[in-house]
A and B are shown apart, each in its own frame.
Chain A
């Protein structure tokens, strides 16, 4: 297998994987970045959400070869010090319960706010409906998204 070069969290990383390997497993099992989670593998749960060039993508659905050439950001690279407004809002609202879905929630919210800094309830519903939370933290997620929008605002 010829090595594949990926740009992850600002670094060039070489991996030797079958080109059709989903990005999720490249990140988790080859690059040691376990922040993105496996929940379903079929684009239903959103636990695996990462950014490709700043857009939220389900890493279980993106092959390694398709990810090559794009800027990949995982929760580990969202900020070096939890300073991202979404992370700050998540801390302020103490959103997580078990925590398993939360990197997917945060990456989805961060991508939403990047493209729509003051999202409407409807935009929030549409974006966040992509990520399941079995613990049911949705109410605090909504509060945290509003807080992040407010505190990152002009």
Chain B
């Protein structure tokens, strides 16, 4: 288990004083770890432990990368337990193959699809045992007792026992297999805006990210990987690297060359001084070659991903028919913290500290690499300086494990920003061919979409067959009612590694289908929002989201020098509509305002959800305005934020988030607001200028005529 901040007695006691309680960290006293409580403790399951001092320790199996799980998941447990939140301490769980269920944190899955139920049961079981213990002590009926913020109360007699006083006795009672869960009307923490557990440590600079791990005797390393995909080391001349004072080792690894030194900077300098001859693989394509090969693929039918009605006939017989080719580029994740991992491999065990979205995969990878049984591999999960899907891979873990195996000491491998940018699992570049038909009634009669996209599942790189579900996400499950809908998928075989990027296939596909739906609305001579609404009569929740977006954005009211565009998505259990307000002055695009309406079912923490929506808009807008990874001769061109820019503070639009109140099961909040922003902006550009953007990123150069 990991304490994710560097404790400092003075600081944390003071935080408690400032925040007036309500902060888990406020009660952390170094030197006496809550989970080491001596004396009576009560631990009915792997998620919760109660000390006789009344301290509640809650383990979080998922990883924290800014989406707030270290606050929201303990809130779920604590609510069912009826705990006193100011006495809750949160501990980051180490990796375990089964104990905490799925730990992999991607796809906005920490709460939705029933993922919150084990946490609710964990809290509820503990609560029932405490009530049982109190009732037995008082000799009263359990039904006559209630709980309130860390206490059991017997109203008839006015007696009260604290959870701490009951911990010992509760621990001797059987764990109820099927505890009663609260009715949502009884939720006290769920749905509230509690202060985030990690904010004080972040603001103190004490949060421990992967690169902040310090292990006694640790060396610092960096790894240089083959600059071209499919390349390998042919020859290493390490003479100049070894001459850099402080460089200790130069090692060949399975994935590249490691330079091990006394500090990170020396390792970076050593890596620069390396003279490696690379053996290129067979892949040497550039971006233009890849674009051409995708366009060629579209000439042949693909694997059928959806086939409703008879699109072919409907298109042929339509009153009005349009078609278009759309493209989106490769994208890097560019997490704020570059890839890194710390490992200490010994003959009989292996310890890892990793900012990973995939604790169990990390454990398995390390076991495989070291040949140790899985129970001999400990994986501590640190804070992650962003995830976005990149950290579900384990390539950086491999680098650290192999390096530590060779040098025998603990080693921290830190990639440079440039290595990070050039050795990603990219969001694939795509090319789609779309055809649509307007019926005699002015509605959408038919839609045919052919998708060319390197498979996102399985790391890309070619191979496989059939439909890649992630690549057709957002199209094959288009939320609109289209009587004749045909989607097919063409599988390119390109050696560029691809992977999960925030909101996955929907991130590019929503730009494409929502732009084309806009084109169809204009072709039909109808208002784009009203055109969409007419296609959603079978989806009342989504229709409501769109109506609210219209209301909140002032859709239809005049704007001087600006225009609005709309787009929506059903993604990862969230229904989101966004309206963007843009201007184009002197060819300069400015996004002024974004209205984001989301129905994500029941919300655990509205503050976190709003933050995720706003952050998703920034993420999607960054991609729409700037995001593009290009290749030359099989190598990635971009290397750092100078040629792969991110949206900056002074470009931030005003984002107004509206969360629809809902009693439905919780959905995802971390991703669904990403996909609609690009098409909302490009549809607004069309409304303003009549120029249709059919390729991202948006550039004056690719604002082609309508």
> Within the assembled complex, what's the spacing in Å between the Cα atoms of A65 and B105?
43
Q: Are B203 and A106 in touch, CB under 8 angstroms?
A: yes
The interface residues of chain B lying within 8 Å CB-to-CB of A106 are 203
Question: Known contacts A29-B220, A40-B640, A41-B417: does B203 contact A82 (CB below 8 Å)?
Answer: yes
Question: Known contacts A74-B205, A137-B611: does B649 contact A39 (CB below 8 Å)?
Answer: no
> Cβ of B323 < 8 Å from any Cβ of A?
no
Determine the interface band of chain B, counting residues with CB < 8 A from chain A: 35 or more
Q: Are B204 and A44 in touch, CB under 8 angstroms?
A: no
> Within the assembled complex, what's the spacing in Å between the Cα atoms of A75 and B208?
14
> Cβ of A129 < 8 Å from any Cβ of B?
yes
Q: Which residue of A lies closest to B412 (CB)?
A: A29
For window 305-361 of B, CB contacts with A under 8 Å fall at: 334-338
The interface residues of chain A lying within 8 Å CB-to-CB of B212 are 28, 34
The interface residues of chain A lying within 8 Å CB-to-CB of B370 are none
For window 242-280 of B, CB contacts with A under 8 Å fall at: 245-246, 262-266, 268
The interface residues of chain A lying within 8 Å CB-to-CB of B265 are 21-22, 24-25, 29
Contact with A along B640-664 (1 / 0, CB 8 A): 1110001111101011000000000
> Within the assembled complex, what's the spacing in Å between the Cα atoms of A134 and B417?
14
> Cβ of A99 < 8 Å from any Cβ of B?
yes
The residue from B202, B214, B650 contacting A99, defined by CB atoms under 8 A apart: B202
> Cβ of A153 < 8 Å from any Cβ of B?
no
The residue from B66, B205, B338, B414 contacting A76, defined by CB atoms under 8 A apart: B205
The residue from B205, B334, B335, B652 contacting A138, defined by CB atoms under 8 A apart: B652
Contact with B along A24-68 (1 / 0, CB 8 A): 110011101111111111101101000000000000000000000
> Cβ of B472 < 8 Å from any Cβ of A?
no
Q: Which of B66, B617, B655 has the most chain A CB atoms inside 10 A of its CB?
A: B66
Q: Are A29 and B264 in touch, CB under 8 angstroms?
A: yes
The interface residues of chain A lying within 8 Å CB-to-CB of B642 are 42, 44
Determine the interface band of chain A, counting residues with CB < 8 A from chain B: 35 or more
> Within the assembled complex, what's the spacing in Å between the Cα atoms of A101 and B385?
8
> Cβ of A140 < 8 Å from any Cβ of B?
yes
Q: In the complex, what's the smallest C-beta–C-beta distance from A96 to chain B, in angstroms?
A: 4
Question: Known contacts A37-B209, A131-B649: does B199 contact A95 (CB below 8 Å)?
Answer: yes
Q: Are A100 and B386 in touch, CB under 8 angstroms?
A: yes
> Within the assembled complex, what's the spacing in Å between the Cα atoms of A74 and B66?
23
The residue from A24, A91, A131 contacting B18, defined by CB atoms under 8 A apart: A91
Q: Are B641 and A97 in touch, CB under 8 angstroms?
A: no
> Cβ of B198 < 8 Å from any Cβ of A?
yes
The interface residues of chain B lying within 8 Å CB-to-CB of A87 are 203-204
Q: Are A37 and B385 in touch, CB under 8 angstroms?
A: yes
The interface residues of chain A lying within 8 Å CB-to-CB of B383 are 98-100
Q: Are B206 and A100 in touch, CB under 8 angstroms?
A: no
Q: Are B205 and A25 in touch, CB under 8 angstroms?
A: no
> Cβ of B618 < 8 Å from any Cβ of A?
yes
Q: Which residue of A lies closest to B201 (CB)?
A: A99
For window 6-31 of A, CB contacts with B under 8 Å fall at: 17-18, 21-22, 24-25, 28-30
Among the listed stretches B7-15, B41-49, B73-81, B166-174, which one makes contact with chain A, having 4 or more residues with CB under 8 Å of it? Answer: B7-15
> Within the assembled complex, what's the spacing in Å between the Cα atoms of A125 and B649?
6
> Cβ of A120 < 8 Å from any Cβ of B?
no
Supplied contacts A96-B203, A135-B66, 10 more A-B pairs, CB within 8 Å = A21-B265, A42-B640, A76-B204, A76-B205, A81-B10, A82-B15, A82-B204, A91-B203, A136-B652, A138-B618
Give the B-binding residues of A (Cβ under 8 A): 1, 17-18, 21-22, 24-25, 28-30, 32-42, 44-45, 47, 74-76, 78, 80-83, 87-88, 90-91, 94-103, 106, 125-126, 128-129, 131-142
What are 14 A-B interface contacts by the 8 Å CB criterion? A25-B264, A28-B211, A35-B205, A37-B211, A37-B385, A47-B336, A75-B204, A82-B204, A97-B615, A98-B386, A99-B66, A99-B207, A133-B649, A141-B649
Q: Which 4 A-B pairs have the closest CB atoms?
A: A35-B205, A136-B618, A100-B385, A97-B66
Give the A-binding residues of B (Cβ under 8 A): 6, 10-11, 14-15, 18-19, 64-68, 195-196, 198-209, 211-212, 214, 220, 245-246, 262-266, 268, 334-338, 383-387, 414, 416-417, 607, 611, 614-619, 640-642, 646-650, 652, 654-655
